[in-house]
Structure 1
Amino acid sequence: MFATEESAATYAGRIDHDGFAVIEGVLGNDEVSTLRQAVETLGEREEVLRRGSIYGVRNLLEVLPAAAEVAAHPALRSLVRPVLGDGCFAVRGTLFDKNAGANWSLFWHQDSIITVREKRETPGFSKWSQKAGVWHVEPPHEVFEQMLTLRLHLDDCGPDNGPLRVLGGSHRCGWVDDEIEDWKRSTRETVCTAAAGGVVVMRPLLLHASSASASPSHRRVLHIEYAATDLAGELEWNTRISGA
């Protein structure tokens, strides 16, 4: 993805400073088309239908082999390695599909939940819940400081498709629940539009939001989270997918 070590270092520095970047053309048209076809089969899978709508599928890396494969794709890993190192691995995947039949908006927030294999009470980990048979927990913010999220677009996402909006730099301050209004006043938001095959790279602690789509067309995003370190104590990531 990056022609030189210097360009990779510049990219990593931008992620550290701003908390995000939009990289176009990460996957080609044929690869994106194959992924779209795979996503369309989710409606035929009993484990997905049993757990709810196909417009917001949790545990995507477990239920869709094509998603697990793309999480290990060299082009995607090339966006993660400069930030997290060569030992990075995918830990969670989610499908988001805004369209005329399933539309929503999200208020400003930070990602605050990870998924683990088993519930094991551990200092600093709280707000345990079980969704779709998987344990979810809020870790210390230091865990998210060592993670990176890639949002791979399967459809063109313009200003009318409910794109991600972010407040650059907000990821550097830990949990900012009580400071969101201050960040909104002091920081100009960036709208992260992207063409199909493009990727929005972001730190999970970056304040982000999105509006409902004003277009009837699909806005499908594969949201893939990466880490590079083990969890504390006896906790284990629910999923762990490394490169080939």
Structure 2
Amino acid sequence: MAFAVEPAVSDLKSDYDREGWCKIPHRFDDDTIGLLRERIDSICSRRRPEVVYEKDGETVRAVHGCHAFDDVCAALVRHPQLVSLAEALLGGPVYVYQFKVNLKQAHEGAAWPWHQDFAFWSEEDGMPRPDAVNIAVSLDDVHEDNGPLVVIPGSHTLGLLDLPAMADKDDRNGWKQHVSADLTYTVTGSRAESLAREHGKVLITGRAGSLHAFHPSIVHSSSNNLSADRRALLLITYNAVANAPAHPMRPKFLVERDATATTPSSDGRLRLVPDASPSDS
């Protein structure tokens, strides 16, 4: 199932450019998602630098850079349809800038406050422009009670909002604060509420395997997981090769140093099928 059919790609790019996000009309099948879950669950069971925990120090909040040491995740980032979609949205060759899985464990997963991803990539890594795209793969069924992503359409056109003063930046606690519930760069609740009144907001829900694309500057958040259902969201950030930061300082599992264009490669374990599920609310 290729995304190379021009009208489909054109429609997706139009939605992405206008709204800052788009739903991809394909999903990974159940066997693919089962395999990805197995690999992520195995990684979460190990004490590695790439594994980040909630404030209790035991509940896994996220894992990073899995494509560097797991063959299934490595195959996923080279999936021909994902690479071609990223190239179509960004207009040229891309490489994997970041790979992560954000997990909200049942009844324990904490919220992510309103923020923009590009704030971290610009301010911490020196990424020149928001010429990157997040491709999100739902590893679990996502519903309104297990902490879905909430986006404010059109907010990606507003630039970076509410950046802290330089003195406040000097008080930060390093990269771990960039992946915790206490984020270094956030959009204030009052501004987010104002933007939501003007632009509306969208809950990104759907069955496991669903695919979405998000702009680095879109204002987004997610709530606590109040349900008995885990919510795991796998995110591949493709960056334009021409947009690679010159001297990133954060760990390699957060920021890839090699900006060589990703070469697509098919893997029979990773299968896409048409997604006929309803649109997000």
TM range (shorter): 0.7 to 0.9
Q: Which runs of 5+ in 2 are unaligned?
A: 54-58, 163-187, 249-254, 266-281
Deviation string, structure 1 residues 13-63 (Cα, Å, up to 9, x no partner): 110110001225421111111111111211444425886554311233324
Match of 1:113 among 99, 116, 120: 120
| CA separation of 1:58 and 1:50: change in aligned 2, threshold 3 A | closer
Determine the C-alpha separation between the residues in 2 that align with 1:189 and 1:204.
Answer: 16
Instruction: Give the equivalent residue in structure 2 for 1:121.
Output: none
Determine the C-alpha separation between the residues in 2 that align with 1:239 and 1:160.
Answer: 38
TM-score, length basis structure 2: 0.70
Check whether the contact 2:149–2:220 (CA below 8 A) recurs between aligned residues: yes
RMSD: 2.6
Check whether the contact 1:168–1:187 (CA below 8 A) recurs between aligned residues: yes
TM-score, length basis structure 1: 0.80
Determine the C-alpha separation between the residues in 1 that align with 2:61 and 2:85.
Answer: 26
Determine the C-alpha separation between the residues in 1 that align with 2:229 and 2:211.
Answer: 19
Instruction: Give the equivalent residue in structure 1 for 2:198.
Output: 186
Check whether the contact 1:60–1:92 (CA below 8 A) recurs between aligned residues: no
Match of 1:205 among 209, 217, 221: 217
Q: Which runs of 5+ in 1 are unaligned?
A: 115-124, 127-136
More deviation, 226-235/1-10: 226-235
The correspondence of residues 41-190 of structure 1 with structure 2, limited to 5 A, is: 41-48=42-49, 52=53, 54-100=60-106, 102-111=108-117, 112-114=119-121, 126=123, 137-139=124-126, 142-144=128-130, 146-177=131-162, 179-190=191-202
Check whether the contact 1:22–1:194 (CA below 8 A) recurs between aligned residues: no
| CA separation of 1:233 and 1:165: change in aligned 2, threshold 3 A | closer
Identical columns (%): 24
Q: Shift of residue 166 of structure 1?
A: 0.6
Amino acid at match of 1:61: H
Deviation string, structure 1 residues 105-131 (Cα, Å, up to 9, x no partner): 1222111223xxxxxxxxxx64xxxxx
Deviation string, structure 1 residues 120-179 (Cα, Å, up to 9, x no partner): xxxxx64xxxxxxxxxx1536x522x1000111111111122111111011012112275
Q: Shift of residue 98 of structure 1?
A: 0.9
Check whether the contact 1:26–1:75 (CA below 8 A) recurs between aligned residues: no
